[in-house]
Structure formats: structure tokens, C-alpha cells
Amino acid sequence: MSAEAKSVRLPSPDRVYRVAQWATGRIGVMSLRELIRSPQFDLVGVYVHSEAKDGKDAGELCGLPPVGVKATRDIEQIIAQKPDCVVAVQDGCNLDDVCRFLEAGINVATSRVDFLEPERMDPEVRRRTEEACRKGRSSIHATGSSPGFSSEALPLVAVSMSRRMACMTIDEFADIPLSCPDVQVVEGMGFGRAADGAFDPDLLHHHAHGFEQSVNVVAKALGITLDGIEVFGEMAGANERFLLPGGTPIEKGALAAQRVTIAGMRDGRPIIRFRVNWYCTTDIDRDWALRENGWRLVVEGDTPIEINVTFPMPVSDPQFSPAMAGITAYSVVNTVPFIVEADPGVRTTAELPAIIPRMI
């Protein structure tokens, strides 16, 4: 299905899309608020996981006045409303639920990295997802800030001024403790352990899974045949002892920064490379030139360029955290009209038209 020719249909500016929200965590609250506010959408359902949220009004869940739509943990209630699209921004992937929506003819716009590019998806996830899309004549598209904007949309725009490219490198920089509690930083991501051992293979796969798909999206869009994709992780230790925001100590020499490189290779050299630079401090024993949160894209070729994306807002600003959630949430919301109009299947960034939001 995914290799077939695709038609491109632009959304109607007059259509109102019936939508359902899946999950109302930090990112879900942001998307739910916009689905309620925008005249482009008609919210018909909210799918939640916790008993505490079951039955609550959608407006109450995102800090708005009541709108008359009650949250439910029953997927059949959502399906019965026949939304055009589900906005799925949940933690973890419940493939059974995804396929249930798709089989029912309901399109899915999601922030989950499991559905970025068919060739690099888990084979069983791809088989079941494409089968569900065929059955329901439905579509699914995964996006967000990263993977998504930084690893697909931005690179494709950047090379629109080029004809020949020697290498493209996208560096992501993220100060992890700014957005994660201490327990997740230490137990979930491994910061604070010894920095001189082998990189945790499970963590390496977790970091790289989505970006491998993104590298393939960009390569295929540019007509580049890759010899393969190489993935490797590096670690850096802290130069001095310091405390995480919650008071947890990271000792001198302990793991304080991680770099994962996902490189699309051609003729023994990287041609499309994404590097994830995640850190707890910039005072490390490696020369990685860490900087503030954001991305740096460098294109080497006939039109060499460098693009830096940063956020002109201090981390102490109360709006910083909502803004960081919004760059993922709104990428998914803006996709809804385009994925509803798309051909059935797993649709990639390169296959869809440029996602241009309707501002309100």
C-alpha cells in the first residue's frame, strides 16, 4: 500500500472536522484546548484512561468552561460518535486501540513515533496497521516536534534551495531536567550512573526508533538510496558534582550527557544524520558544544546553510512548559484536516501537502 502512487487533496477551508481526543496528559491538554477553541473542529469525544477523569467534561479537563462532551474509558462510545479523526497523544502505544479506530474508518493523527515511516516500522505493527487502514479506508500520520518537525519537515524545507548535498546533520539539544522529574531522569534515562560502560542497548533503541524512520522519510523524499542506517550512542561524565532540580545528586564523573547518532549511510559515509544531545548539565568531559534547547541543522553541499531553532523564552517563564508541550500538540492538531483528506494507509510527512494551520 505505502509504495503506491498517492493523490494529494487539500482540505476544504469551509469543512468542520468531527474530532475525538485520545488522552489528556501534559500534551493532550494542549491539543484538547485547541480542538475546543477552533471553529475548524467539532469535538465529539474524549478518550481517557483513568477512573478519575472518566465522566468529566472535556472543558474541565483542559481548564475551559464545560462544553457538554464527557470523557470516557469506553472506546466503543468514541467509535459510535463517528469522528473524522482521533487526535492520539497518549503515552505508550496501544496497537489494538489504534487498529480498532482505523478499522472503523476513523483516521488517526498521533504523536506516537511507531507510525512515522512504513519501511522502518516494527514489521508486525506495520502489518496490522496497514491491514486496519485497508479495512476501514482510513489513514494515520505521526508527527510532533521531534521526531516530526525537526527531523522531517525542517530538513525537507532546508534543502529546497539545493541540488546536491554532501551531508545533512540535525542536532537536537535538550536540557532533560527542565521537563522531567528526577526519578525519570535517573531511573528512566540512566543519568547519574557510570559513564564509562557500554551504552544501554534498550535505551539506544528507544532513542533511535523514531529517528530511523525519519531519516528514511527524508532519504526517500530526496531520491537518495541509503546503504543502511547506523546507530550508536556516546556518554559524557560530569566535570563537577551537581544537583538535579529535585535535589538528586549527580556525582563528578557520572553520566551527565548522552548523544545518540542515527546516520543514513551512502558509500560508507553519513549523508543524513540526526544527533540527539540530551544533557543534565553542559559542564561535561566531552567537547560536544552543547547549547540551549532547540535544533541546529547544517547542510553541506552546493548551497551550504546552517539553521538554528531556539525558543526566545526563559525557562523560568510560567509559559515555557506549556509552550514546549504545544509544539508537539499543535503539530498533531494541524495535521487533522490533511490526514482526513489523505489516501488510506500510513502517510508520511513527504507524502502529505505542507501542513499549514488555520490561525484563529
Which H helix or E strand runs over 202?
helix 201-221
Instruction: Write out the three cell numbers for 164.
Output: 546536491
Q: Is residue 187 part of a domain?
A: yes
> In one letter, which amino acid is 136?
G
Q: Is residue 10 part of a domain?
A: no
Q: Is residue 50 part of a domain?
A: yes
pLDDT of residue 6: 54
Nearest-angstrom CA–CA distance, 77 and 82 = 9
> Which residues pair with residue 72 across a beta bridge?
47
Nearest alpha carbon to residue 41 among 98, 82, 105, 85 = 85
Q: Is the pLDDT of residue 81 over 60?
A: yes
Q: What is the mean pLDDT of residues 147-161?
A: 96
Nearest-angstrom CA–CA distance, 3 and 111 = 23
Contact 48, 72 (CB under 8 A): yes
278 plus 340 within the same structural domain: no
Q: What is the mean pLDDT of residues 67-92?
A: 96
> In one letter, which amino acid is 99?
C
Q: What is the CATH number of the domain that holds 107?
A: 3.40.50.720
Q: What is the mean pLDDT of residues 137-152?
A: 97
pLDDT exceeding 70 applies to what percent of the chain? 98
Q: Is the pLDDT of residue 5 over 90?
A: no
Helix axis angle, 26-37 to 320-341, nearest 10°: 60
Q: Range of 109's domain?
A: 17-144+323-346
186 plus 238 within the same structural domain: yes
Q: Is residue 226 part of a domain?
A: yes
Q: Is residue 1 part of a domain?
A: no
Q: Is residue 2 part of a domain?
A: no
47 plus 76 within the same structural domain: yes
Q: What is the mean pLDDT of residues 279-303?
A: 96
Nearest-angstrom CA–CA distance, 323 and 277 = 20
Contact 286, 155 (CB under 8 A): no
36 plus 125 within the same structural domain: yes
Nearest-angstrom CA–CA distance, 108 and 88 = 7
DSSP letters for 35-86: HHH-TTEEEEEEE---TTTTT-BHHHHTTS---S-BEES-HHHHHHT--SEE
pLDDT band at 178 (very low <50, low <70, confident <90, very high): confident
Q: Is residue 273 part of a domain?
A: yes
Higher pLDDT, 79 or 2: 79
133 plus 170 within the same structural domain: no
Q: Is the pLDDT of residue 1 over 60?
A: no
Q: Is the pLDDT of residue 151 over 90?
A: yes
Phi-psi category of residue 105: left, alpha or beta, with phi > 0 → left and psi -120 to 50 → alpha? left
Q: Is residue 189 part of a domain?
A: yes
342 plus 251 within the same structural domain: no
Which H helix or E strand runs over 266?
strand 255-266
What letter does residue 189 receive in the DSSP assignment?
T
89 plus 213 within the same structural domain: no
pLDDT of residue 3: 44
184 plus 136 within the same structural domain: no
Number of domains in the chain: 2
What does each C-alpha distance from 161 to 165, 225, 350, 354 come to in angstroms?
11, 20, 17, 16
Nearest-angstrom CA–CA distance, 70 and 113 = 28
pLDDT band at 101 (very low <50, low <70, confident <90, very high): very high
55 plus 181 within the same structural domain: no
Q: Is the pLDDT of residue 180 over 90?
A: no
Dihedral, CA atoms, 269, 272, 277, 283, nearest 10 degrees? 50
73 plus 179 within the same structural domain: no
Distance between terminal CA atoms of the chain?
Answer: 36
pLDDT in tens, 224-275: 999 999 999 999 999 999 999 999 999 999 999 999 999 999 999 999 999 9
> Which residues pair with residue 274 across a beta bridge?
170, 262
pLDDT band at 2 (very low <50, low <70, confident <90, very high): very low
pLDDT of residue 7: 56
